[in-house]
Amino acid sequence: MKKKMFMSMLVIALAAALVGGATMAIFTDTETSAGNSFAAGTVDITVGSTVIPEVGFANMAPGDIRSGSFTVTNAGTLALRFDVLAATSGALFEVQGNSPGNTPAVVGGLTDDQDVVLAPGASATVTFTVTLPLTAGNEYQNDNGTVTFTVNAEQTANN
Protein backbone atom coordinates (compact mmCIF):
# COMPACT_ATOMS: atom_id res chain seq x y z
CA MET A 1 0.00 0.00 0.00
CA LYS A 2 2.82 2.36 0.84
CA LYS A 3 4.50 1.40 -2.40
CA LYS A 4 1.32 2.14 -4.37
CA MET A 5 0.93 5.49 -2.69
CA PHE A 6 4.55 6.34 -3.29
CA MET A 7 4.17 5.44 -6.98
CA SER A 8 1.03 7.56 -7.27
CA MET A 9 2.81 10.51 -5.70
CA LEU A 10 5.76 10.00 -8.00
CA VAL A 11 3.50 9.89 -11.09
CA ILE A 12 1.72 13.07 -9.95
CA ALA A 13 5.06 14.83 -9.29
CA LEU A 14 6.35 13.81 -12.73
CA ALA A 15 3.16 14.99 -14.42
CA ALA A 16 3.39 18.33 -12.60
CA ALA A 17 7.03 18.70 -13.61
CA LEU A 18 6.18 17.98 -17.26
CA VAL A 19 3.30 20.47 -17.25
CA GLY A 20 5.45 23.08 -15.49
CA GLY A 21 8.33 22.50 -17.88
CA ALA A 22 6.05 22.77 -20.88
CA THR A 23 4.70 26.13 -19.78
CA MET A 24 8.22 27.50 -19.35
CA ALA A 25 9.14 26.64 -22.93
CA ILE A 26 8.24 30.02 -24.51
CA PHE A 27 10.40 32.32 -26.58
CA THR A 28 11.46 35.58 -24.91
CA ASP A 29 13.51 38.61 -25.83
CA THR A 30 14.55 41.87 -24.12
CA GLU A 31 15.74 45.07 -25.76
CA THR A 32 16.86 48.40 -24.27
CA SER A 33 16.15 51.84 -25.65
CA ALA A 34 19.12 53.85 -24.41
CA GLY A 35 20.35 57.38 -24.91
CA ASN A 36 16.94 59.07 -24.88
CA SER A 37 17.76 62.70 -24.20
CA PHE A 38 15.32 65.46 -23.26
CA ALA A 39 15.96 69.20 -23.13
CA ALA A 40 13.79 72.17 -22.25
CA GLY A 41 13.40 74.94 -24.82
CA THR A 42 13.98 78.63 -24.18
CA VAL A 43 11.92 81.80 -24.36
CA ASP A 44 14.37 84.62 -25.06
CA ILE A 45 13.71 87.96 -26.73
CA THR A 46 15.99 90.75 -27.82
CA VAL A 47 14.93 94.33 -28.39
CA GLY A 48 16.76 96.37 -31.00
CA SER A 49 17.63 100.04 -30.78
CA THR A 50 14.90 102.60 -31.19
CA VAL A 51 14.66 104.04 -34.68
CA ILE A 52 14.32 107.79 -34.18
CA PRO A 53 12.67 110.04 -36.76
CA GLU A 54 14.82 112.55 -38.66
CA VAL A 55 13.46 115.44 -36.60
CA GLY A 56 14.18 113.54 -33.39
CA PHE A 57 12.17 113.75 -30.21
CA ALA A 58 13.57 117.12 -29.07
CA ASN A 59 12.04 120.56 -29.57
CA MET A 60 8.46 119.33 -29.71
CA ALA A 61 5.81 122.02 -30.03
CA PRO A 62 2.14 121.67 -29.14
CA GLY A 63 0.45 119.68 -31.90
CA ASP A 64 3.60 117.68 -32.81
CA ILE A 65 3.39 113.92 -33.28
CA ARG A 66 6.66 112.00 -33.49
CA SER A 67 6.88 108.32 -34.43
CA GLY A 68 9.56 105.77 -33.68
CA SER A 69 10.02 102.02 -33.78
CA PHE A 70 12.08 99.15 -32.47
CA THR A 71 12.45 95.50 -33.37
CA VAL A 72 11.63 92.52 -31.14
CA THR A 73 13.39 89.28 -32.09
CA ASN A 74 12.71 85.78 -30.77
CA ALA A 75 16.21 84.61 -29.87
CA GLY A 76 14.89 81.49 -28.12
CA THR A 77 14.01 78.01 -29.34
CA LEU A 78 10.25 78.10 -28.63
CA ALA A 79 7.50 80.05 -30.36
CA LEU A 80 6.43 82.93 -28.15
CA ARG A 81 3.75 85.55 -27.75
CA PHE A 82 4.63 89.08 -26.66
CA ASP A 83 3.02 92.37 -25.80
CA VAL A 84 4.46 95.82 -25.16
CA LEU A 85 3.80 98.21 -22.28
CA ALA A 86 4.91 101.85 -22.22
CA ALA A 87 5.81 103.59 -18.95
CA THR A 88 6.48 107.32 -18.88
CA SER A 89 8.36 109.52 -16.46
CA GLY A 90 9.42 113.14 -16.34
CA ALA A 91 7.64 116.49 -16.34
CA LEU A 92 6.67 116.34 -20.04
CA PHE A 93 4.34 113.41 -19.31
CA GLU A 94 2.87 114.69 -16.02
CA VAL A 95 -0.18 116.92 -15.53
CA GLN A 96 1.07 120.23 -14.17
CA GLY A 97 -0.90 122.83 -12.25
CA ASN A 98 -4.63 123.33 -12.29
CA SER A 99 -4.98 125.57 -15.33
CA PRO A 100 -7.43 124.35 -17.96
CA GLY A 101 -5.98 123.08 -21.20
CA ASN A 102 -2.69 121.90 -19.77
CA THR A 103 -2.21 118.50 -21.34
CA PRO A 104 0.97 116.43 -21.07
CA ALA A 105 2.55 114.48 -23.87
CA VAL A 106 1.13 111.01 -24.47
CA VAL A 107 2.53 107.78 -25.87
CA GLY A 108 0.28 105.89 -28.20
CA GLY A 109 0.05 104.29 -31.57
CA LEU A 110 1.75 101.16 -30.36
CA THR A 111 1.41 98.66 -33.17
CA ASP A 112 1.81 94.95 -32.69
CA ASP A 113 1.25 95.50 -28.98
CA GLN A 114 -1.17 92.69 -28.17
CA ASP A 115 -0.29 89.03 -28.36
CA VAL A 116 2.07 89.03 -31.32
CA VAL A 117 3.30 85.48 -32.00
CA LEU A 118 6.90 84.97 -33.14
CA ALA A 119 8.50 81.72 -34.30
CA PRO A 120 12.11 81.08 -33.22
CA GLY A 121 14.40 83.45 -35.13
CA ALA A 122 11.53 85.69 -36.32
CA SER A 123 11.27 89.44 -35.70
CA ALA A 124 8.50 92.02 -35.50
CA THR A 125 8.66 95.80 -35.66
CA VAL A 126 6.86 97.74 -32.94
CA THR A 127 5.98 101.34 -33.79
CA PHE A 128 4.86 104.06 -31.41
CA THR A 129 4.00 107.75 -31.35
CA VAL A 130 4.64 110.52 -28.86
CA THR A 131 2.14 113.36 -29.09
CA LEU A 132 2.32 116.77 -27.48
CA PRO A 133 -1.32 117.85 -27.79
CA LEU A 134 -2.19 121.23 -29.26
CA THR A 135 -3.76 122.09 -25.89
CA ALA A 136 -0.44 121.70 -24.00
CA GLY A 137 0.06 124.83 -21.92
CA ASN A 138 3.11 127.04 -21.40
CA GLU A 139 4.02 125.05 -18.30
CA TYR A 140 5.42 122.32 -20.58
CA GLN A 141 8.01 124.57 -22.23
CA ASN A 142 11.54 123.14 -21.91
CA ASP A 143 10.27 120.00 -20.06
CA ASN A 144 11.65 116.54 -20.69
CA GLY A 145 10.33 113.04 -20.32
CA THR A 146 11.31 109.44 -20.80
CA VAL A 147 9.42 106.48 -22.19
CA THR A 148 10.42 102.96 -21.21
CA PHE A 149 8.99 100.11 -23.26
CA THR A 150 8.69 96.75 -21.55
CA VAL A 151 8.29 93.72 -23.80
CA ASN A 152 6.73 90.72 -22.03
CA ALA A 153 7.00 87.31 -23.70
CA GLU A 154 5.64 83.87 -22.91
CA GLN A 155 5.67 80.51 -24.66
CA THR A 156 2.75 79.67 -26.94
CA ALA A 157 2.99 75.89 -26.64
CA ASN A 158 0.54 74.47 -24.08
CA ASN A 159 -0.51 77.95 -23.10
Overall number of domains in the chain: 1
Sheet holding 116-118, edge to edge: 116-118, 80-89, 146-155
* Highest mean predicted confidence (pLDDT) among 13-17, 21-25, 67-71, 112-116: 67-71
Q: Is residue 23 in some structural domain?
A: no
Local structure of residue 79 (DSSP, 8 states): -
Q: Within 10 A of 3 (CB to CB), how many other CB atoms are there?
A: 7
Q: Is residue 27 in some structural domain?
A: no
Q: Give the pLDDT score at 27.
A: 84
Could you give the dihedral angle defined by the CA atoms of residues 19, 21, 26 and 31, in that order, rounded to the nearest 10 degrees? 140
Q: What is the CATH number of the domain that holds 113?
A: 2.60.40
Q: Is residue 34 in some structural domain?
A: no
pLDDT at 22 over 60: no
138 forms beta bridges with none
- Indicate the pLDDT class of residue 74, thresholds 50, 70 and 90: very high
Q: Is residue 83 in some structural domain?
A: yes
Q: Is residue 114 in some structural domain?
A: yes
How far the first Cα of the chain sits from its last, in Å, is 81
Determine the structural domain holding residue 136 and report its residue range.
45-155
Q: Is residue 5 in some structural domain?
A: no
Q: Is residue 20 in some structural domain?
A: no
pTM: 0.72
